[in-house]
Structure 1
């Protein structure tokens, strides 16, 4: 059986590595899903520990609470997809199991909102709803060709398989790659898109400053959005690979805003935004596309001056006007 462990909130790199090491004490087959989750295949661990998957999940929860002060939510299922869905269905801080039984899987998926399926964001959910496809069981019962006409060939096939609880993926053991993270939590559920974009601008300023200070660049950016819904709280994650490695605010900001726009959140009540810079590399060895745009050089000079001011007077010394008051 597979455990999907959700740590409740994005974890900074050191804390996340400690959590992954803790999971590794129960099984060597643990897969990092930074910044807030991990997968663990405990099929080979139940006999050694003399406990079933739920018993091991309870031990991990107790260890996480005692050592890290975290109330971990655990989903258990015969594959990573069902384990993840089990973890996210219901209140946090619990253990939920989907048995390895076709009838039990069908009952679990019956009535599951389409938006709960991985890869179905608010925009896709609205598209599906316009065709009356609001739940996983309705999607699974829809002819494949119909879904492919709505979503495209590959997306339609993947969604239909997920709606039926099919997931051929295996847990792949491995340490998480080094990343740089920044998170903004709103004081209330924020539905104003302009304020959300301002928060993203603030996060990219933080990421860019840290990358430049550490003489690093990134090739990938991941946005995680937590928002309020009927189930209480849901999250959605999108990633994008950059055309070239960078540590400069305009490119990071444009990519973050594009990721945000692609989610189609509209009036969603957002609780937090988290940005993660991945595929880090040494800035000295990063290539830069030549440009004859004088504004690009001017922007980089201003950026360097702002970095010097922050180093001397603190991280809040220089910031865009739209981010005033944010921490």
Structure 2
């Protein structure tokens, strides 16, 4: 099995059977770190940690050199530095990452029109309809890897299989910079001896529940009675896991995907206890979320907040709205109401606001729009920011918060995609 640090990597030999393996999963290798090396070649070969240098934020990504010391994404930067003291800390640049991602996705779309981006650095490609143009799935997978390397300057790993589930597992095992092909007839044999943790969608808690009952390998799922599997993970997931374990995955490559949520969060330089400063920060984040919604032509039906206390305890709360909105004031009011209802006053290290259940804008306006004035104000704000830059135009109250006393928040993190 491939691991996050690249050890245990498995790749296919040239000429491997790719019969029926028409679904590719392409995943960039340590994408953020690779883009930073592309930007600054002097970083090549060094252990890199992508994150804020203050030690209080979390690792966005790490190079394979750093991963071999145990550094992982979502780990506190302070812990990562203790594991790898020689690592270089590089602040993330998401504008740069998105620009490189667009170049990569453009290559995919030149290969096949059936491309389903999963995130900024991975996508599914259905290549069954382009065999006459480009060749067999393995040939196309090798071509994609070569084009990304030669035209963009970074590496990717590719899994080719008959289903999305197996293709994604295969690309993970091929990392970094590899191609693993699973012919359709080999699907069951390929899955049998893999750990349940390797299955796409099986998180740590689900894996622990399965393993505590002796269900450690995918073949164990096949031999476990339905009743026992349902007791471990519940009826719906039990049925899903059995289908995947037996090679059944009817999901097709979806070329149009609706973004499920939009969010931003901030980690503070110092833990914050002042509720007014925290409420002001929630409104600032709500404004950023709303701005992204308006630019994309979406509205949110649910507002969620994330609060992380000084002891790393994290609380999530959400509220469904009576009508969808893209108004920052409305989103901020709900976020602050959710925050006020949390019965804990400990110092806080991180706050976040997220818009969920997105829908196209303008579909639910009634005869009377009580947010009309805020829409006018925020529309003017959008226009001003487009002209002068988002860093130049903001609410006056946000300026007060950032230049206030020491208890005020000091943003250190980035908006989440």
Corresponding residue number in structure 2 for 1:6: 27
Kindly provide the CA deviation profile for residues 226-247 of structure 1, in whole angstroms up to 9, marking residues without a partner as x: xxxxxxxxxxxxxx99555345
TM-score by length of 2: 0.50
Task: Give, in whole Å, the separation in 1 of the partners of 2:114 and 2:319.
Answer: 27
Is the partner of 1:93 in helix, strand or coil? coil
Structure 1 equivalent of residue 231 of structure 2: 149
Distance 2:293 2:111 in 1: 38
Distance (Å, rounded) in 1 between the aligned partners of 2:337 and 2:153: 36
Indicate the residue corresponding to 1:45 in structure 2.
130
2:75 maps to what in 1? none
1:68 and 2:147 matched: no
Please give the residue correspondences for 1:230-245 in structure 2 after superposition, counting only pairs within 5 Å.
Answer: 243=321, 245=324
The separation in 2 between residues aligned to 1:135 and 1:62, in whole angstroms, is: 34
> Which structure has the bigger radius of gyration?
2
Q: 1:169 aligns with which of 220, 233, 251?
A: 251
Report the CA distance between 1:57 and its aligned residue: 1.0
> Structure 2: how far apart are the matches of 1:105 and 1:82?
8
Aligned-partner Cα distance in 1 for 2:237–2:360: 32
Alpha carbons of 1:206 and 1:37: their partners in 2 closer, same or farther (altered >3 Å)?
A: farther
Aligned counterpart, 1:326: 413
Q: Cα 1:285–1:321, aligned 2, differ >3 Å: closer, same or farther?
A: farther
CA contact (8 A) 1:179 1:277 kept: yes
Residue aligning to 2:168: 84
Structure 2 counterpart of 1:59, from 138, 143, 147:
143
1:209-288 to 2 correspondences below 5 Å: 210-211=291-292, 214=295, 217-219=299-301, 243=321, 245-247=324-326, 248-249=331-332, 279=358, 281-282=360-361
Structure 1: gaps of 5 or more residues: 187-197, 223-239, 256-272, 292-296
- TM superposition score normalised by structure 1: 0.61
Deviation, structure 1 residue 176: 4.2
What CA deviation, in whole Å up to 9, does each residue of 1:83-123 have, x standing for no partner?
Answer: 1110122423211111222xx32332233222222332222
Asked if structure 2 preserves the Cα contact closer than 8 Å seen for 1:13 and 1:178, the reply is no
- Alpha-carbon RMSD: 4.8
Report how many residues are paired.
Answer: 266
1:133 matched residue in structure 2: 215
Q: Determine the C-alpha separation between the residues in 2 that align with 1:128 and 1:163.
A: 13
